[in-house]
């Protein structure tokens, strides 16, 4: 099975811009949303859905497919807009985000969307579930890979480290854990709340094959993940990103964790993203 797009970096960058525009429109329309997180992860999601993930549009639950778990479920806006851009979700639903019984609730729900693997939102759940899926693949001799995208503040949840130990013990080299390291959590910078660094050393100490990349550079994301080899080690990719990436007045501002643009801010953001 292949990725249905297999886009190059330039093509992905085009999609990323469209995803960011749609995120802003969607959150503006709904009057709610996790704008900062939606924007920081866009390059990672576009790289996955337009290049790295092997899946078919026709059969979202194909047993051979690669799995993607959005453990940072609050980044669902970026996820929906990526699925829409890839033709996996109806773009006409964009205006229904967060409405009553919407197909686009504020965290991913698998009963609402066949491209959602598992219901997330509470933090620290995705990695253990990914470990289970990776074990299931190995036990059934299936060659699918399991991608888990966590936030960075999320790593304060101990369940991630439980799962990391299990992943390492069971040599789950089919597990690719991507950390959206945008340095911010709900209230402040992670290092001001409870410091995560030296994160790379921690990940290595837990038995991960650790790699650090610019998570807002699809070229780096793709070349790094495509170079991973099955060596008995689960992969941990620290993707250094900018929260709110792409819109100057949103970038690195803690207040934009779940702030949404005003009419005027939306116009300014659209201008920036159209450059």
Best CA proximity match to 3, nearest among 59, 39, 50: 50
- To another protein, the closest distance from the beta carbon of 73 in angstroms equals 10
Give bridge partners of residue 67 from the DSSP assignment: 146
Number of residues that bind another protein (CB under 8 A): 32
206 forms part of the interface with another protein (CB under 8 A)? no
110 forms part of the interface with another protein (CB under 8 A)? yes
Among 2, 100, 101, 140, binds another protein (CB under 8 A): 140
Burial of 119: CB neighbours in 10 Å, binned 0-12, 13-18, 19+: middle
Distance from the first to the final alpha carbon of the chain: 36
Nearer to another protein, 75 or 128 (CB): 128
- To another protein, the closest distance from the beta carbon of 31 in angstroms equals 26
Nearer to another protein, 179 or 250 (CB): 179
162 forms part of the interface with another protein (CB under 8 A)? yes
Q: Are strands 67-70 and 235-240 parallel, antiparallel or unpaired?
A: unpaired
Cα gap 139→82, rounded to integer Å: 31
- To another protein, the closest distance from the beta carbon of 191 in angstroms equals 25
Among 4, 29, 121, 200, binds another protein (CB under 8 A): 121
Nearer to another protein, 22 or 160 (CB): 160
Nearer to another protein, 50 or 79 (CB): 79
Cα gap 223→16, rounded to integer Å: 17
156 forms part of the interface with another protein (CB under 8 A)? no
205 forms part of the interface with another protein (CB under 8 A)? no
Nearer to another protein, 124 or 234 (CB): 124
117 forms part of the interface with another protein (CB under 8 A)? yes
1 forms part of the interface with another protein (CB under 8 A)? no
- To another protein, the closest distance from the beta carbon of 123 in angstroms equals 10
Question: Considering only 122-130, 185-193, 205-213, 243-251, which stretch makes contact with another protein by CB under 8 A?
Answer: 122-130
Question: Considering only 22-30, 166-174, 216-224, 255-263, which stretch makes contact with another protein by CB under 8 A?
Answer: 166-174
- To another protein, the closest distance from the beta carbon of 166 in angstroms equals 5
> Which residues of the chain form contacts with another protein (CB under 8 A)?
63, 110-111, 117-122, 124-125, 127-137, 139-140, 158-159, 162-163, 165-166, 169-170
């Amino acid at each position: 099975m292949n990725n249905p797009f297999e886009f190059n970096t330039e093509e992905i960058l085009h999609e990323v811009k469209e995803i960011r525009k749609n995120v802003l429109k969607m959150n503006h329309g709904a009057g709610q949303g996790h704008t900062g997180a939606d924007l920081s992860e866009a390059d990672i999601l576009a790289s996955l859905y337009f290049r790295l993930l092997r899946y078919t549009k026709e059969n979202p639950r194909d047993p051979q497919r690669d799995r993607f778990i959005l453990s940072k479920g609050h980044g669902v806006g970026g996820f929906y807009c990526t699925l829409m851009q890839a033709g996996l979700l109806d773009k006409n639903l964009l205006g229904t985000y967060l409405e009553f019984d919407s197909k686009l609730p504020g965290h991913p729900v698998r009963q609402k969307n066949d491209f959602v693997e598992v219901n997330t939102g509470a933090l620290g759940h995705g990695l253990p579930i990914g470990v289970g899926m990776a074990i299931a693949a190995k036990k059934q001799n299936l060659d699918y890979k399991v991608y888990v995208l966590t936030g960075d503040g999320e790593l304060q949840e101990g369940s991630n480290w439980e799962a990391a130990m299990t992943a390492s013990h069971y040599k789950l080299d089919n597990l690719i854990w991507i950390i959206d390291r945008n340095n911010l959590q709900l209230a402040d910078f992670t290092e001001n709340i409870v410091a995560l660094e030296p994160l790379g050393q921690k990940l290595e100490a837990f038995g991960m094959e650790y790699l650090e990349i610019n998570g807002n550079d699809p070229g780096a994301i793709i070349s790094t993940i495509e170079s991973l080899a099955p060596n008995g080690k689960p992969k941990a990719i620290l993707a250094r990103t900018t929260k709110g990436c792409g819109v100057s007045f949103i970038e690195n501002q803690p207040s934009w964790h779940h702030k949404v643009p005003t009419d005027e801010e939306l116009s300014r953001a659209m201008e920036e993203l159209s450059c």
